[in-house]
Chains A and B, each alone.
Chain A
Amino acid sequence: MLQYIVKRTLVLIPLLLALSIVVFIIIQLPPGDYLTTYINQLRSTGMEVTEDQIKALEARYGFDQPMYMQYLKWMKNLLKGDMGYSFVYNRPVNALVGSRLPATIAISLVSTILIWLIAFPIGFYSATHKYSFGDYAFTGISFFGVSVPEFLLAILIMYLYFLVTRKYAGGLYSDVYAGKPWTWDKIVDMLKHVWIPLLVIAITGTAGLFKTFRANLLDELGKPYVKTARAKGVSNMRLLIKYPVRIALIPFIATVGWMLPGLISGQTVLSMVLSLPTVGPLLITALQNQDMYLAGSIVFVMGLMAMIGTLVSDILLAVTDPRIRNSM
Chain B
Amino acid sequence: MANALCMENAENLVEVRDLVVKFRTDEGIVSAVNSVSYDIPIGKTMGVVGESGCGKSVTSNAIMRILPENGWIASGSILFNSRLGVFDIARLPDKDKRLVQLHGREMAMIFQEPMTSFCPVYTIGNQIIEAIKLHTDLPKSEWRNRAIDLLRKVKIAKPEQRVDEYPYQLSGGMRQRAMIAMALASNPRLLVADEPTTSLDVTVQAQILDLMKDLQQEMGMSILMINHNFGIIAETCDNVAVMYLGRIVETAATKELLENPMHPYTQDLFRSIPQVTDQRGRKLAYIEGSVPDAYSIPKGCAFFPRCRKAQKGLCDESIPPVVDLGNGHKVSCFRYDQ
Contacts and interface: CB of A to CB of B under 8 A. Distances in A.
Interface of A: 130, 223-225, 227-235, 242-243, 246-247, 250, 320-323, 326
Contacts of B150: none
Nearest to B112: A224
B235 interface: no
B118 interface: yes
A247 to B, nearest CB: 6
A326 B121 CA distance: 12
Interface in B95-130: 100-105, 108-109, 111, 113, 116-123, 130
Contacts of A224: 111, 113, 116-117
B120 A233 contact: no
Given A227-B111, A323-B168, A233 B100 contact: yes
B119 A231 contact: no
A242 B121 CA distance: 10
A229 B109 contact: no
Give chain A's interface secondary structure class.
helix
A231 B168 contact: no
A231 B116 CA distance: 15
B66 interface: yes
A233 B82 CA distance: 15
Interface string B174-199: 00000100100000000010000000
Given A225-B117, A225-B118, A228-B179, A233 B135 contact: yes
Contacts of A229: 119, 130
Nearest to A321: B121
Given A224-B116, A231-B66, A323 B104 contact: no
A234 B121 contact: no
B130 A234 contact: yes
Contacts of B113: 224
B121 A231 contact: no
A231 B179 contact: no
Contacts of B182: 228, 232
A78 to B, nearest CB: 41
Interface of B: 64, 66, 69, 100-105, 108-109, 111, 113, 116-123, 130-131, 134-135, 166, 168-169, 179, 182, 192
B104 A232 contact: yes
B111 A326 contact: no
Which 6 A-B residue pairings sit nearest by Cβ, starting from the closest? A233-B103, A233-B104, A231-B109, A225-B119, A224-B116, A322-B166
B119 A243 contact: yes
Contacts of B108: 231-232
Given A231-B66, A250-B121, 8 more contacts: A228-B111, A229-B119, A231-B104, A232-B108, A233-B131, A233-B134, A234-B130, A321-B121
- Residue among B64, B69, B105, B121 with max Cβ neighbours from chain A (10 Å): B121
B121 A246 contact: yes
B121 A322 contact: yes
Contacts of A320: 121
A234 B116 contact: no
Contacts of A234: 100, 130, 134
Most chain B beta-carbon contacts within 10 A, residue among A130, A230, A246, A247? A230
Contacts of A231: 64, 66, 103-104, 108-109, 192
Nearest to B185: A232
A189 to B, nearest CB: 47
B116 A233 contact: no
B140 to A, nearest CB: 17
B190 to A, nearest CB: 11
In this complex, the member of A227, A320, A323 whose beta carbon has the largest number of chain B beta carbons within 10 angstroms is A227
B100 to A, nearest CB: 5
Contacts of B120: 225, 247, 322-323
A312 B134 CA distance: 36
B104 A223 contact: no
Contacts of B179: 228
A178 B113 CA distance: 65
Contacts of B105: 233
10 contacts: A224-B113, A227-B111, A228-B111, A228-B117, A228-B119, A231-B66, A231-B109, A232-B134, A233-B103, A242-B122
Contacts of A247: 119-121
A166 B239 CA distance: 83
Contacts of B101: 233
A321 to B, nearest CB: 6
Nearest to A222: B68
Given A227-B66, A326-B166, A326-B169, A232 B131 contact: yes
A136 to B, nearest CB: 16
Contacts of A227: 66, 111, 117
Contacts of A246: 121
A235 B100 contact: yes
A44 B116 CA distance: 72
A131 to B, nearest CB: 9
Contacts of A235: 100
B205 to A, nearest CB: 19
B166 to A, nearest CB: 5
